[in-house]
Amino acid sequence: MFEVVARLNAARQFTDGVTDLEDAEKVFSGMDLDAADDLSATPSSATTTSDEKLKENKYASVKITAAQSDELIASSQRSLDKVLELANADAAKDSAWTEEIPTTENITVHSRDGKPSRIYKCEAEIPLSPDELFDELYTNLETSNVWNVTAAESNVICKLDETTDLVHLISAPALGGVISSRDFVNTRTWRRQDGGGYVIANSFAGKNVLKPQKGITRGENGPTGWVILPHPTSPFKSRLIWILNMDIKGYFPSSVIRKGSISEVSCFVRNLRRYIERNAGSDEHAPETGSTDVQ
């Protein structure tokens, strides 16, 4: 009961339109705006071994039958097709889509009504080849919290087939802990596209795959994912289209969720770019959790 009251009281602070996008960004950010992670920190082999043991114990209870596996794989393929459909939609001309104002330069964001929540479409240029970007977003999922500051944990539970697995994602607490951590249990699949590029899709795997953890609210994803396309002029860049459809659950005004989601996609792209630049040795900054400049 206390948590519900606390959330409602915090939400009332934003009810008047949440005109400051910096404040809205804090809703979905795992840290304060002036906080930073140390990108140079590398886990020791002992830490890695310990983490692997904890992961094994954490997911030891997950048992997927052959019938469940077939159902999850089929569901993930439907989600992949939906992500492609949304990515291929001309959001600039389709009246169902609304153009939004991002908090990061050189990206476009549109949104539309959807289930289980509003759908966001973010388009950006990323300074990695399609193969490299696929590795960063898919292969390196479990270490992505190095730059994706809204993620506390990202784990692969088990593989279902060569291109599909079951993943467990835990978000960092936000707004000083008023918005507690959320977790998502998703199927994740991918497909290489003709002509180059990839599609990666995530979707809700159901309520009974993994028992909810105490203190963590179980969220739900609709079809969510990335379409990675070759850049028209450079083999060292990619076009990224991100479809986000995420229901975090809880008692929050739709205006807060909307502005927070816009800031979430903006923050994600900004930190991914900064991480890439840092690895290239051209940027000494750690990832940001938000922009102090309101566009």
265: CB partners within 8 A, 6+ apart: 102, 107, 109, 120, 122, 242, 244
Tally helices (H) and strands (E) across the chain.
6, 12
Is pLDDT of 295 > 60? Answer: no
Domains, in order of start, for the chain: 2-279 (3.30.530.20)
Mean per-residue pLDDT of the chain: 81
* Region of poorest pLDDT, from 95-99, 141-145, 175-179, 199-203: 175-179
Q: How far apart are CA 80 and CA 248, in angstroms?
A: 21
3 state DSSP class of 165: strand
Q: What is the pLDDT of residues 67-123, one digit of tens each?
A: 999 999 999 999 999 999 999 999 999 999 999 998 888 999 999 999 999 999 999
111, 119 in Cβ contact below 8 A? yes
Q: What span, in angstroms and rounded, lies between the C-alpha atoms of 149 and 16?
A: 27
pTM of the shown model: 0.80
CA 165, 154, 248, 260 torsion: positive or negative?
negative
Identify the residue with better confidence: 266 or 50.
266
